[in-house]
Amino acid sequence: MRTNSQADKEIARPCWLLRLLQVAVTIGLIAYILYKVPLGDAWAITLEAEPRHLGLGLLSVLGAYLTFIFRWHVLLRPIGVTHSFLHTLGLGLIGIFYNSFMPSTLGGDAAKSYLVARGHEVRAPQVVASVVTDRVLGLVALLIMGFAVTFVISLPGIRKLLLAFVGVALVFFLLVILMARAARGKPGDHEEDSRRHWLGTVIEKATETAQALIHYRKYKLHLAAGIIISCVGILLAGLTFKLWCLAFGFDLSLAEGVAVTVAMSVVTMLPITVNGLGLAEGTNIVLLVAAGVGQPAALGIAVLQRVAVTLLGLLGGGLQLLPKPYRPTF
């Protein structure tokens, strides 16, 4: 009979192999991008970029992330978390820090959930429900904005990408709803074997997603507000790409900027690379080149986008070094 430690080792081995594969794909994508577009050319053209639009682009990135953090702030109200937006902002920046420097985009969600649950009389599942619903509303807004701009732009491949994603998303949510209904009335604890099996983990997470949505279904105004706020944030993110392009002397339309934002966000949801490294930059370059931007400028814009988000993450990391009374923890 296998011991628990032996079973854990058997599960950990493929996880490490998948992580190594993810790292290899990340390095390979970055190497391919630098092979196709020399970094020196991108650096040279970036030095000639117009500073005013670069500064406005940085402000637009900040505005987009402030909007997304405010969406989560709105969703915290129904579960009884009523601290100020400045406090939520601090927690959101800490989440960006973990997302930027941990090998998983879920690290920030876990950190935010832990800090909120520790400081309020709310159950951890309620906080997780707010984070999951926050992500789901962001996804819905991406699909809405993506389809809206496909009718006014000529960038190739966007509509097919979104149609494929919608199909997968609809199948996923259908399965989630069915699993949530099947789970009603059953004990909360799963059998040990199903907990350890990766398929059991996927089913468990999908069921949590369904339960989060079920919890928020009576807060329709908050859900509607979350989608509207998300759409505003996506517009700001699209404006960021427009401003980056203006800095390099190319006039990208706002609709095209939104399309690049949607495509990058959708593609980087796939856990192919570490934190979307290489995948986000490659998507940006392909779409910007298709819009008429030169390859060196497209690489420069992709790098600027990564640097801007990383700076926000570093700001979140710095918040944890503040004296305790000023730190966004409880």
Q: Domain boundaries in the chain?
A: 11-326
Beta-carbon neighbour count of residue 317 at 10 Å? 16
H or E segment to which residue 120 belongs:
none
Residue 196 pLDDT > 70? no
CB-based contact 275:103 (threshold 8 Å)? yes
pLDDT value for 15: 63
Q: Nearest to residue 209, comparing CAs of 290, 109, 101?
A: 109
Mean local confidence (pLDDT), 173-193? 53
**Could you tell me the pLDDT band of residue 198, with boundaries at 50, 70 and 90?**
very low
Q: For the CA atoms of the chain, what is the radius of gyration?
A: 21
Mean local confidence (pLDDT), 133-162? 81
Q: What is the three-class DSSP state of 177?
A: helix
Residue 184 pLDDT > 60? no
Over the stretch 33-87, which tens digit does the pLDDT of each residue have?
989 888 888 999 999 999 999 999 999 999 999 999 999 999 998 888 888 898 8
Angle made by CA atoms 159, 163, 168, in degrees to the nearest 5: 150
User: How many Å apart are CA 265 and CA 240, to the nearest integer?
Assistant: 14
HEC secondary structure over the chain? CCCHHHHHHHHHHHHHHHHHHHHHHHHHHHHHHHHHCCHHHHHHHHHCCCHHHHHHHHHHHHHHHHHHHHHHHHHHHHHCCCCCHHHHHHHHHHHHHHHHHCCCCCHHHHHHHHHHHHHCCCCHHHHHHHHHHHHHHHHHHHHHHHHHHHCCCCCCCHHHHHHHHHHHHHHHHHHHHHHHHHHCCCCCCCCHHHHHCHHHHHHHHHHHHHHHHHHHCCCHHHHHHHHHHHHHHHHHHHHHHHHHHHHCCCCCCHHHHHHHHHHHHHHCCCCCCHHHCCHHHHHHHHHHHHCCCCHHHHHHHHHHHHHHHHHHHHHHHHHCCCCHHHCCCC
Over the stretch 284-326, which tens digit does the pLDDT of each residue have?
998 898 888 999 999 999 999 999 999 998 998 888 777 665 5
**Could you tell me the pLDDT band of residue 201, with boundaries at 50, 70 and 90?**
low
pLDDT value for 150: 81
Residue 4 pLDDT > 50? no
User: How many Å apart are CA 275 and CA 199, to the nearest integer?
Assistant: 22
- Residue 5 makes CB contacts below 8 A (sequence gap 6+) with none
pLDDT value for 276: 83
Q: Which two tokens stand for residue 109?
A: 């969600």
Taking CA atoms, 45 is separated from 41, 245, 251, 276, 314, in Å, by 6, 12, 16, 25, 26
Place of tokens 């105004």: 221
Instruction: Provide the mean pLDDT of the chain.
Output: 79
User: How many Å apart are CA 29 and CA 31, to the nearest integer?
Assistant: 5
Beta-carbon neighbour count of residue 154 at 10 Å? 11
